[in-house]
Structure 1
Amino acid sequence: MTSIQPFSPVEATAWARLVAVSELLPTMLDAQLLRDVELTHFEYLVLSVLAASPEHTSRMTRLASQTNATLPRLSHVARRLEQKGLLERFPCPQDKRATNARVTAAGLSVLEQAAPGHVATVRSNVLDVLEPAELEQLAAISSRILARLDPEGRMSATQCDAAARAGSDAVPDATAAVPA
């Protein structure tokens, strides 16, 4: 039987704080978006990923992967977004067995309306409390953890790493801004 190494005090503190942030942040983001545009953060993420996709369209399977959702969860959210007129689903022209999703003009409008408040909330609660060097450390630390959790690079956050390595000034951030 293998012996498990207990957490050191530093490891225990780091882990407890990461868990606390991962629990508190989604609730705070949901509250702001629900108040401003009646969307959850996950709904905002789905629309943002679609808005950043070519022709604002993606296969549902790819969209599920990019948002780390199961197909049933994504289908449920897509149905709600369709009912609000923010998203439309249709058969994939290349593969009739697959379904595509596209953000509508109304969905793009809601994203445009939501983006300033979302960015302000993220800035005031996360980015602005960190020094520039700490932001770089957070990006590096998050990238290393994400590489372990998502080795295939499925999630849209991985695109940020690719753009940063390429030296792009406009690093994509599907959760913070609406593409032009």
Structure 2
Amino acid sequence: MRDDDASALTDDERSLIRALRPAMAALMRDFDDDLQRFQRMSHAEYIALMFLSEAPEHTMRLSDLAELCQQSASAVGRTVKRLEAEGLVRRQQSVHDARSFNATLTEAGVARLEEAVPVHVASVRRHFFDQLEGVDLGKLALAFQRIAQKS
């Protein structure tokens, strides 16, 4: 696409589209930096623990966890392996499907997540919500949900 093809977008629209990817990358970096600094935990590990904590019986198929985390199966597998080494997650073969594996959050994993939540919440507030002063968060959330549902 040539630059003049983008002339159908307003200046604000162009500005927003061009800022979106760098902003998301910066947010993920900032969340990761804060969790690493204060909790010695990656953002990917935090997200995996969070989704497992919300799952029935704190258990989820690795493929489902990968989808929720928006990561490849191998990336989530490496994350779960690190969490398993720390005793925060157990990985076991599914009793329903011998080809798949489940991850189960342990009591130590629940406790570790509870320690990390305040750090993550403070990070999200500082790096994201504090930058959205005056923005209707409900409308923004609905717009993001509509975008996500299209794919």
TM-score of the aligned structures, taking structure 1 as reference length: 0.74
**Which residue of 1 is the match for residue 117 of structure 2?**
115
Tell me what 2:6 maps to. 6
Tell me what 2:75 maps to. Answer: 73
Q: Which runs of 5+ in 2 are unaligned?
A: none
- In the TM superposition, what are the counterparts of 1:87-98 in structure 2 within 5 Å? 87-98=89-100
Indicate which of 14, 27, 48 corresponds to 1:46: 48
Q: Which runs of 5+ in 1 are unaligned?
A: 150-180
Question: Following superposition, which runs of at least 4 residues in structure 1 exceed 6 angstroms of deviation?
Answer: none
AA of the residue aligned to 2:116 = A
Write out per-residue CA displacement over residues 97-118 of structure 1, whole angstroms, 9 at most, x where no aligned residue.
2211011111111110000111
Deviations 1:125-180 (A, max 9, x none): 2224434752122212211221223xxxxxxxxxxxxxxxxxxxxxxxxxxxxxxx
The share of aligned pairs that are identical, in percent, is 33
8 A contact 1:86–1:104 mirrored in 2: yes
* Aligned-pair Cα RMSD in Å: 1.8
Asked whether 1:101 is paired with 2:95, we answer no
Between the aligned partners of 2:81 and 2:134, the Cα distance in structure 1 is: 41
Q: How does 1:145-164 map to 2 (within 5 A)?
A: 145-149=147-151
TM-score where L is the length of structure 2 = 0.88
Provide the aligned length of Structure 1 versus Structure 2. 146
